[in-house]
């Protein structure tokens, strides 16, 4: 299927690993030029080599306004940005009563402010040009709030509100803003978490995953981790569908018991 993105420019924040890397790879394989950012040039170079010849990385920390400007300027050197994927995020398992104020602020900085800073620049240019598509990578935890991941759940819920609010700014234009909610995915960090959990419990990873789906996500219909490549396809489809604006696309393996999304 031709998504019509050949020769266009896509920014995928945090695209060196995980879901972001899969999204960047899909954009590249469909003909786009892809810009990713990170904090270490060597890691960016390795990721770009894996993605393909039209992938380019820049050291730019979106925890600062200067970093957002660096990323936007670097991408603009290749042409107008047609696609912006806000993918940066952090997560961990924690006890709500033990999470400090500083850690809460870190969550908001990573999971929201990084997206706000780069969107402030890129979305404004899209509206001026009357062309472009933005997606915020949220999580099924935004709807299925998780008690031992409260800061993560709260910030991912806030991301849905941010996405819809920015979509309101696109009324009557050819610019769109949507959000995407992946479920538990076989990224490096998630696999590392289950490997550590299995070691702690004295079980195999397969047994730990089986227990997870039985006890934590019994409503999940696939009962397995999602291949990151599936999210790459899903995000590109969402971002190139002109009929979809201001919506949340759910790709969680059926964990959330809802006929909507």
Q: Who's near 201: CB < 8 A, 6+ residues apart?
A: 208
Note the pLDDT tens digit of each residue in 110-135. Answer: 999 999 999 999 999 999 999 999 99
Answer left, alpha or beta for residue 227, where phi above 0 means left and psi between -120 and 50 means alpha. Answer: beta
Catalytic residue among 83, 152, 180, 213: 152
Q: What is the pLDDT of residue 261?
A: 65
Alpha carbon distance 36, 45 (integer Å): 10
The fold adopted by the segment(s) 9-185+227-247 is: Rossmann fold (3.40.50)
d(CA 166, CA 160) in angstroms, rounded, equals 10
Q: Are 33 and 79 in contact (CB under 8 A)?
A: yes
Active site residue 152: yes
**Residue-range domain boundaries for the chain:** 9-185+227-247, 186-225
> Which pTM does this prediction carry?
0.94
Q: In sequence order, what E strands does 65-204 have?
A: 81-86, 132-137, 175-182
Low-confidence ranges of the chain (pLDDT < 70): 261
**From CA 93, how far away is CA 89, in angstroms rounded?**
14
């Amino acid at each position: 299927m031709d998504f019509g993105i050949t020769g266009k420019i896509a920014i995928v924040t945090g695209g060196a690993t995980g879901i972001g890397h899969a999204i960047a790879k899909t954009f590249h394989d469909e003909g786009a030029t892809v810009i990713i950012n990170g904090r270490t040039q060597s890691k960016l170079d390795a990721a770009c080599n894996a993605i393909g010849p039209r992938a380019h990385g820049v050291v730019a920390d979106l925890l600062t306004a200067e970093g957002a400007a660096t990323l936007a300027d670097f991408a603009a050197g290749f042409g107008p940005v047609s696609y912006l994927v806000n993918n940066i995020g952090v997560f961990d398992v924690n006890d709500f009563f033990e999470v400090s104020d500083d850690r809460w602020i870190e969550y908001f900085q990573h999971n929201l402010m990084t997206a706000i800073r780069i969107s402030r620049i890129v979305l404004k240019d899209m509206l001026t040009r009357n062309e472009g598509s933005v997606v915020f990578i949220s999580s099924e935890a935004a709807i299925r709030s998780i008690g031992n991941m409260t800061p993560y759940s709260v910030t991912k819920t806030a991301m849905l509100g941010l996405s819809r609010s920015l979509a309101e700014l696109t009324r009557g234009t050819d610019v769109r803003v949507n959000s995407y909610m992946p479920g538990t995915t076989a990224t490096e960090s998630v696999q590392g978490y289950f490997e550590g959990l299995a070691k702690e419990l004295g079980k195999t990873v397969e047994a730990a995953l089986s227990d997870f789906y039985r006890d934590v996500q019994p409503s999940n219909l696939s009962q397995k981790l999602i291949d990151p490549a599936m999210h790459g396809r899903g995000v590109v489809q969402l971002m190139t569908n002109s009929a979809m604006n201001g919506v949340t696309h759910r790709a969680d393996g059926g964990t959330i018991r809802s006929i909507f999304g």
